[in-house]
């Protein structure tokens, strides 16, 4: 595979034109509308997934390795990978941005360890939260940090709230049961060593589910595709259907055709084998 890449003529480090082609954009985003298209395009084209942690590996955050994996090999990743690639694109496009580490809450009153990475972009006097790596709960477009008003994004509603007790800005999503806090962050810029440590923790710590639960998420034009531990969901125009996917043949078709991921037979087989074992232990009802 690597020899094929070496002789393909494609760049082996970040190249803006190749990146934009990977996510299906034919223009350089420079405005707020362009920033919104950029985030949605990446989430649509490069799925959220945790294949490597699920198979016992720690993702390599080196820029060249991320480029090969996410762009040339057409695989996905989780927040530390996806938002690192997004940051390179923002820098190449000239957007002023700051990396932040967040504490995931998922409805709790406070977060745990800093296990999520996102970005704050300053544009025309306003600040925007950009996140292409939080999976199905996250907004498809940037969230305005300079207002506490409700912000409709596609078929969801979000808002920002400042938590004085934790000194964090908190992203929340409106549900039928009320507002759910997704994650909170402060503005202290992390060092790369902090990000590397958080990445290792996410991949290896049993208290974080990436090593024990297989997840996929991809935004689509009319909805999204989700997957957790053998149960796939297909939502289109607010209508959801589900399908159990455990066998290697079904998983291969799902990962390559529905998600557009470039994983080989060996890795897909290893995922299927572990999912089958999980299904035997705890069947999907």
Residue 137, pLDDT score: 83
79 flagged as catalytic: yes
DSSP string, 180-198: EEEEEE-SPPPPHHHHHHH
Segment 199-253, tens digit of pLDDT:
999 999 999 999 999 999 999 999 999 999 999 999 999 999 999 999 999 999 9
Interatomic CA distance for residues 147 and 224, integer angstroms: 27
Residues 149 and 72: their CA atoms lie apart, in Å, by: 40
Say what the pLDDT of residue 281 is: 85
Question: Is 194 annotated in the active site?
Answer: no
The catalytically annotated residue of 33, 60, 108, 116 is 116
CB 73 within 8 A of CB 264: no
pLDDT digits (tens, 9 = 90+) for 57-66: 999 999 999 9
pTM of the model: 0.94
Residue 136: pLDDT band with limits 50, 70, 90: confident
* Cβ contact 230:246 at 8 Å: yes
Report the pLDDT averaged over residues 94-114.
96
Marked catalytic residue, from 15, 26, 131, 202:
131
Is domain 2-207 classified as CATH 3.30.2140.20? yes
Q: Catalytic: which of 15, 33, 64, 79?
A: 79
What are the residue ranges spanned by the domains of the chain? 2-207, 220-280
CB contact at 8 A, 64 and 12: yes
Mean pLDDT of the chain: 94
149 is catalytic: no
Q: Checking DSSP bridges between strand 126-130 and strand 239-244, what pairing results, if any?
A: unpaired
């Amino acid at each position: 595979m690597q020899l094929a890449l070496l002789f393909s003529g494609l760049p082996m480090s970040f190249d803006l034109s190749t990146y934009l082609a990977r996510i299906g954009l034919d223009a350089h985003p420079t405005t707020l509308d362009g920033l919104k298209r950029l985030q949605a395009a990446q989430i649509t084209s490069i799925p959220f997934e945790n294949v490597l942690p699920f198979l016992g590996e720690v993702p390599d955050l080196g820029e060249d390795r991320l480029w090969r994996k996410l762009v040339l090999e057409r695989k996905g990743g989780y927040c530390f990978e996806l938002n690192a690639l997004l940051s390179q694109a923002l820098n190449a496009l000239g957007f002023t941005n700051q990396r932040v580490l967040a504490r995931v809450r998922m409805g709790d009153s406070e977060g745990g360890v800093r296990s999520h990475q996102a970005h704050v972009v300053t544009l025309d006097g306003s600040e925007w939260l950009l996140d292409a790596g939080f999976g199905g709960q996250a907004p498809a477009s940037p969230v305005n940090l300079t207002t506490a008003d409700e912000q409709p994004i596609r078929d969801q509603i979000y808002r920002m709230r400042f938590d004085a007790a934790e000194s964090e800005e908190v992203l929340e999503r409106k549900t039928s049961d009320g507002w759910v806090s997704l994650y909170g962050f402060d503005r202290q810029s992390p060092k790369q060593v902090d990000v590397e440590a958080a990445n290792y923790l996410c991949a290896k710590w049993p208290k974080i589910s990436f090593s024990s639960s297989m997840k996929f998420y991809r935004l689509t034009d009319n909805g999204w595709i989700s997957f957790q531990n053998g149960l796939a969901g297909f939502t289109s125009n607010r209508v959801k259907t589900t399908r159990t996917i455990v066998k290697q043949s079904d998983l291969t078709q799902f990962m390559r055709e529905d998600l557009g991921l470039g994983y080989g037979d060996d890795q897909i087989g290893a995922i299927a084998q572990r999912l089958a074992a999980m299904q035997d232990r705890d069947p999907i009802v």
